[in-house]
Structure 1
């Protein structure tokens, strides 16, 4: 029988591992442009099939909550390879005043996990902009317990949208997987993205 979110027992705290060099201090986001419009926000991937994801923005269009009802990674008996790894790619198309550029101030991954001894859960996130070279990425590891988790990480090397235009398309690809797949384990995930702005 497969695990479900409702079957999770909250017991011992979960251990979150991240390389110190990948984390930087939290800073306040600069004011967004006065004119800012979300042209499109879409998701695609095994962790967010059509109709299972919802993207909501706050009143400033700088914080985006991505609710992923089917982003559940699980391993153990009666599971298949497609269950052991999931991904979700968020594409965010923004239109704003010229003379600004933006990056991700933070990406928060929140959810539930069951990671028994001898098993590791792993999540990675990669951010890039359509039409630009380069990307920013980081990895996080879960191990040793059951219960809710909250991962807040900032990429050590940020990537900014290009200057000179009033539009940009940001792509963020989140992946989570469990290894080895023989033991019963689970990760269920939602994502929050905060944007940081600056003048060119």
Structure 2
């Protein structure tokens, strides 16, 4: 589509402000044991999860998470989702929560249209969810960087050295008849969701 050609016009990425600083000292070792993917926004091999050296920032990247509306598109293009199951291992005696998220990518949203992305976190076997939502209101074109704080914070259970964190990411654009786009950033080649992690010792 002609709409995708606008990606070639992006030359500079927006500098991202830091996320909320976690309050507690994190464990000395945090690593990703495994990641499983399911959804239209993350075909096999198109998503990745990394933990930074400080153990307080998790970066989730999507390389084919593209939402489009307008002539020539179909219902499968208007909404994308991805469910990641992330198995995190860390030192015994800690638990963690998701403090804030920041989503970065490219958007072309005309006046009268709106993009909406939500990221929902929960722990396998634990009731309660942490929900983040960010919106892209037209008119705008170019790289975007959107921060969101949770509606509700939930903590991983104590009593082990690993936990399974589920991330369900969804994005859509409305109305569907207007040409609009949420896509990977040309500079990085991906949509990025940065997640600030808070750690505390189990009591």
Instruction: After superposition, give the CA deviation of every residue in 1:6-40 in whole Å (9 maximum; x if it has no partner).
Output: 54656xxxxxxxxxxxxxx9343422212433211
- What is the Cα deviation at residue 190 of structure 1? 2.1
Q: Larger deviation: 54-63 or 73-82?
A: 54-63
1:2–1:44 distance in 2 versus 1, CA, 3 Å: farther
Q: Which residue of 1 aligns with 2:72?
A: 78
Q: Which residue of 1 aligns with 2:15?
A: none
- Name structure 1 gaps, 5 residues minimum: 11-24
TM-score normalised by the chain length of structure 1: 0.84
Give the number of equivalent residue pairs. Answer: 186
- Equivalences for residues 37-116 of structure 1 within 5 A: 37-116=31-110
Indicate whether 1:183 and 2:178 are aligned: yes
8 Å CA contact 1:29, 1:195 repeated in 2: no
SS in 1 for 2:3: coil
1:37–1:146 distance in 2 versus 1, CA, 3 Å: closer
- For residues 122 and 46 of structure 1, the distance between their equivalents in structure 2, rounded to whole angstroms, comes to 16
Indicate whether 1:36 and 2:30 are aligned: yes
Q: Which residue of 2 aligns with 1:149?
A: 144
1:84–1:58 distance in 2 versus 1, CA, 3 Å: same
Query: Aligned Cα RMSD in Å?
Result: 2.0
8 Å CA contact 1:35, 1:96 repeated in 2: yes
- For residues 7 and 28 of structure 2, the distance between their equivalents in structure 1, rounded to whole angstroms, comes to 46
TM-score normalised by the chain length of structure 2: 0.83
- For residues 141 and 3 of structure 1, the distance between their equivalents in structure 2, rounded to whole angstroms, comes to 20
